[in-house]
Amino acid sequence: MRMKRCAAILAAGIAVAIIAACGGSPATKSSATKTSGVKTSEIKRGTLIPGIEPKVSTYLRTWPLGSDEAELEKKIRWSAEQIHGEYLEEIIIAFAHIDQDDKSTIIFPDAPDDGSWDLWAETAKLKMIWPHLKQHVSVGGWGAEFSDTAHDPDARAKFIANLCGYLEQYDLDGADIDWEYPVGPDWGQEITSRPEDKDNYIALLTELRAAMDALGEKTGKRYGLSACIPASAWWITKNDAIVAADIVDNLKLMAYDYYGGWSGTTGHLANLYNNPADPEWGGWSTDQAVNLYLNAGFPPEKITLGLAFYGKAWKGVEDGGANGLFQKYTESAYPDGLAWPQIKEFINGGEYVRYWDDMAHAPFLYNGDIFITYTDEEAIREIAAYAKEKGLGGVMVWEYGHDMDGDLFKVLNESIQ
């Protein structure tokens, strides 16, 4: 029934305007989108390590590298030569936003406009170095607005045309819609939302898929389309999850951030299984989230399982007879998060003890005061084995900047084969 309504939307002529506009240039407010010349003779090409199955993808930031204010203030961003494409099949540039002045122009708020770094020059070099590596652009992220655009057929059509223009102009391979979240939970959310988001979300995905297919007729390329979904039960009750899964190539399950500075106690960031001692909602886990979607009728091959290559921490944590796990704390530590190199320093420095939760299949560090939840090599191997066992279509990582040396990506690559 829902698909019939979407077809009616297309038949009304909205998609015709989108498809016709896809041959044009994207509307933009960011000078970071300029094209820079790349000397192909200076590019050293690489190849994918064979045998990756399921597909491995990662988000790739446009803001500076680093996990604290001091590092971020250095304004150092990634270069194409730093990306270990041999471990990957897809990167997702994060994030584009929808400009809220006209509800349709695409902007990249975290990319500099002073000429210090050219996003599109780097993606062009990346394509030359790693020809196999698909490049998608993600629109959205936490706090990004979608509802007004999706609700207005004209703005929606213009946005889709602009997005298709980016795909063509910068030789991208697809798009990711990271709307967090259509309709929203009963307890509310910061971004604009309305009950009509349920239908408008499907209309947005349907019309975008049609426009990308039309663009593909022109360019000879089949464009990928994905969308992000939370590892939460409420999302399925508020949205047409199965219809969305039918439209997109895959749904990226954000199986992380189960605990953070908002939580009442310490806990696991991205545990694979539930620990019954977990005091938050009786516990939650990646396995429960995956089974939630599978039991709702999601094809397993449409689920891309998310991994967190970062850590979260709390201080003022008592031991509680559990090495700090599920204990009260006085405040968050490292509020900007911890990247893998920092976590490695803690592991090797001798101050922290590394523990493994046999119930949750998750690691943590504790030094008698600070508790750190994170993902390490053992957890990655377990998650990769789980994804293969469940027949999932892929795994994705948030986010490449947390593992610039590729240590964890190498483990993931080896484990997923």
d(CA 115, CA 235): 40
What's phi and psi for 80, nearest 5 deg?
-60, -35
CB 137 within 8 A of CB 96: yes
d(CA 142, CA 140): 7
Beta-sheet strands, E only, within 188-275 = 224-230, 250-254
Least confident of 52-61, 239-248, 269-278: 52-61
Kindly report the average pLDDT of the chain as a whole number: 90
What's phi and psi for 304, nearest 5 deg?
-105, 120
The more confident residue out of 283 and 309 is 309
CB 208 within 8 A of CB 268: no
* Peptide bond preceding 299 in cis form (omega within 30 of 0): no
d(CA 48, CA 303): 22
Residues in the chain: 417
d(CA 15, CA 113): 33
Catalytic residues: 180
Residue 417: which pLDDT band, with cuts at 50, 70 and 90? confident
Least confident of 19-33, 75-89, 187-201: 19-33
- What is the pLDDT averaged over residues 216-235? 96
The CATH number assigned to the domain with range 7-31+54-309+375-416 reads 3.20.20.80
- What is the pLDDT averaged over residues 138-143? 97
Residue 48, pLDDT score: 59
d(CA 388, CA 392): 6
Residue 52: which pLDDT band, with cuts at 50, 70 and 90? very low
**What percentage of the chain has pLDDT greater than the value 90?**
85
> Within 10 Å of residue 195's Cβ, how many Cβ atoms?
11
Residue 27, pLDDT score: 59
Q: Is the pTM of this model over 0.75?
A: yes
Residue 180, pLDDT score: 97
Residue 53, pLDDT score: 52
Distance set, CA 64 to CA 70, 111, 401 (Å): 11, 9, 9
Residue 98, pLDDT score: 98
DSSP 8-state code for residue 177? E
| Residue of 357, 340, 270, 258 whose CA lies nearest to 305 | 270
* Helix, strand, or coil (residue 412): helix
d(CA 285, CA 303): 16
In what helix (H) or strand (E) does residue 346 lie, and over which residues does it extend?
helix 340-349
Is the pLDDT at 50 greater than 80? The verdict is no
Is the pLDDT at 21 greater than 50? The verdict is no
Q: Transcribe 256-319 into DSSP letters.
A: --SSSTTSSS---SS-SS--TT--STT---HHHHHHHHHHTT--GGGEEEEEE-EEEEEES---
Most distant CA pair in the chain, distance:
66
Within 13 Å and on the Cβ side, how many CA atoms surround 99? 16
> Within 10 Å of residue 404's Cβ, how many Cβ atoms?
16
| Residue of 44, 200, 190, 226 whose CA lies nearest to 126 | 44
- What is the pLDDT averaged over residues 366-392? 97
Residue 45, pLDDT score: 56
The owner of tokens 């469940």 is 390
